[in-house]
Structure 1
Amino acid sequence: MRHQVSKELFAYWNKLRGARAAPDRAHIDPAMIRNILADAFILEVDAEGAFPFRFSGARIDALWQAEQRGESFVDLWQEKHRRSVSATLMTAMDGVTPVIAGARTSVAAAEHQLELELLLLPLRHFGKTHARMLGALSPAHPAEWLGEMRVDPLEFLSMRVLFPGFLPGAVQAVQHGQTRPRLVVYNQNR
């Protein structure tokens, strides 16, 4: 987790959840995250696996020069990466655990590239665990051209699961008798 937006949203989500695996959607207060709201979003979990936006921040809308509410989150990605993105969303939901990912987009006509960090945080909604996802999609560096040109579909670069108890910037101590988290590789070519 490198971006300040991701760190702030994770800290807010972590505070809300307390001892629970995930906080309830009803407890999200936009005023509490107003400084990062432009990069934030909420996704709905649907039967088709499109993960439509329930809310999209202004900077996210500016990337595609259109409001994303109701649009498919998965469709924002390059065709060859959509399966990986869907698997990443399901990993966050099924494991009820935060996921951080790297992405890149470009504007081919202007030869601009933009590195982005994606944070996915599961939410409960009316008691259901597979209902909503809070997230952020933030650029690594400010882009003066943002909003002037529509970006190309996103490229999925990397993904990391953040285990319970993760604290950004802190070294996690493993106490005697505890096991370290394992690396789990998912085969995407099935």
Structure 2
Amino acid sequence: MQDQVEFFAPSEAKDHRLLRLYRYWLEKSGARAFPQRADLDPVDFKYILGYVTMVDIIEPEDGSGPRRYYFRLDGSHLAALSGIDYTRRYLDELPWPDYRDFIAWTYERVLQNQSPLGYRRRGNIDDHLFDEETIILPLGVGGDRIGKLMVAVIPGDLRPGEHAIVL
């Protein structure tokens, strides 16, 4: 199966849970570009919580070296689907190089554009079959700096006999 990626604005998500989460994020943003992490209450989005990953953006203290991404929380449904709980791990510690590169690229794009991003991806990456629709929502920490990402991943529908691994 060939890898297929389609990028979209989160307002164009097909999954109703992703749209609902995006609308919540917009509401909490108010007049700001993005909400602060403290503005969000997980109880408000419990309908999708098992599909949400919270990612801390770790900037190098001395300004040298690459930015790192720390999975503060990996949704329980996502951990069950992938077979790996990313909670308390860094993205660069995960075993799949193509996956790491793609995810890092999407996170960097959110940071550069200072705006959310959505994508649908279906295919094979690092010899794992996957099918997902994802939105990445930036969160502020202490003002107008993005310090966290809220990532929601909804598995897609595969044909009978296919077994998806959502990475």
Give the Å deviation of 1:80: 3.0
The answer to whether the Cα contact below 8 Å between 1:43 and 1:73 also exists between their aligned partners in 2 is: no
The answer to whether the Cα contact below 8 Å between 1:117 and 1:140 also exists between their aligned partners in 2 is: yes
Matching residue within 30, 39, 48 for 2:42: 30
Matching residue within 104, 112, 117 for 1:86: 104
Superposed, which structure 2 residues align to 1:1-190 within 5 Å?
Answer: 1-47=13-59, 48-73=66-91, 78-104=96-122, 113-127=129-143, 129-141=145-157, 151=165, 154=167
Higher helix share: 2
Partners of 1:122 and 1:89 in 2: CA distance: 9
Task: Kindly report the root-mean-square deviation, in angstroms, between the aligned alpha carbons of the 2 structures.
Answer: 3.3
TM score, norm. by length of structure 2: 0.73
The answer to whether the Cα contact below 8 Å between 2:53 and 2:74 also exists between their aligned partners in 1 is: yes
TM score, norm. by length of structure 1: 0.65
Specify the SS of the correspondent of 1:116: strand
Partners of 1:73 and 1:22 in 2: CA distance: 23
Give the Å deviation of 1:89: 0.7
The answer to whether the Cα contact below 8 Å between 1:25 and 1:125 also exists between their aligned partners in 2 is: yes
Partners of 2:18 and 2:92 in 1: CA distance: 20
Aligned-pair identity in percent equals 23
The answer to whether the Cα contact below 8 Å between 1:3 and 1:140 also exists between their aligned partners in 2 is: no
Residues 138 and 150 of structure 1: CA distance in aligned 2, closer, same or farther (over 3 Å): closer
Residues 61 and 105 of structure 1: CA distance in aligned 2, closer, same or farther (over 3 Å): farther
Residues 126 and 92 of structure 1: CA distance in aligned 2, closer, same or farther (over 3 Å): same
Residues 142 and 29 of structure 1: CA distance in aligned 2, closer, same or farther (over 3 Å): farther
Gapped regions of structure 1 (runs ≥ 5): 144-148, 155-190
Deviations along 1:75-124, whole A, 9 cap, x unmatched?
A: 55842353332222112122221100223467x99xx9441011101100
Specify the SS of the correspondent of 1:51: strand
Partners of 1:39 and 1:20 in 2: CA distance: 25
Partners of 1:69 and 1:56 in 2: CA distance: 5
Q: In the alignment, what sits opposite 1:176?
A: none
Higher strand share: 2
The residue identity in structure 2 corresponding to 1:120 is I
Gapped regions of structure 2 (runs ≥ 5): 1-12, 60-65
The residue identity in structure 2 corresponding to 1:45 is I
Which structure has the greater CA radius of gyration? 1
Give the Å deviation of 1:9: 1.2
